Amino acid sequence: MKKTLDCCPYQEDGDLPFTWIEDHCSICGSITPQLAIAMIQAGWLVSPLGKDYKCYIGHELVYFQHLSPSHVRSFLGLFLAGKVNLRKDSYILIAPFFAPSIKIVDILKSLTP
């Protein structure tokens, strides 16, 4: 699985490019980065999955690889401002691969009111 930005994590070299069909990736099913950021801004629950490359926002799967650098900046800005509604009963909290310097302590701080 690729861990780079601006791609589909399941797209192999030489595959046809992925497309967005009704706000979902035609290969992996992830929602668009624009929709993911909009849902976070609207306060939807973000559920980490114990992986550094995906999460759920509401019931929608998000693969971080689809994010562009500007989406990453938006996500990190929301996170650092305490505006990401993280699921409070998550049993494993791992920082996203694009921001390994986010410490678990910072994530836990964001869970407190």
pLDDT digits (tens, 9 = 90+) for 10-52: 887 767 788 999 999 999 999 999 999 999 999 999 988 778 8
pLDDT at 101: 67
Round to whole Å and give the CA distance between 5 and 71.
10
- Map out the domains of the chain as residue ranges: 20-111
Q: How far apart are CA 89 and CA 57, in angstroms?
A: 15
The answer, yes or no, to whether residue 84 has pLDDT greater than 80, is yes
Region for residue 58 given its phi and psi (left: phi exceeds 0; alpha: psi -120 to 50; beta: otherwise): left
β-sheet bridge partners, residue 21: 24
First to last CA, the chain: 36
Please give the Cα distance from 79 to 85 (Å, whole number). Answer: 9
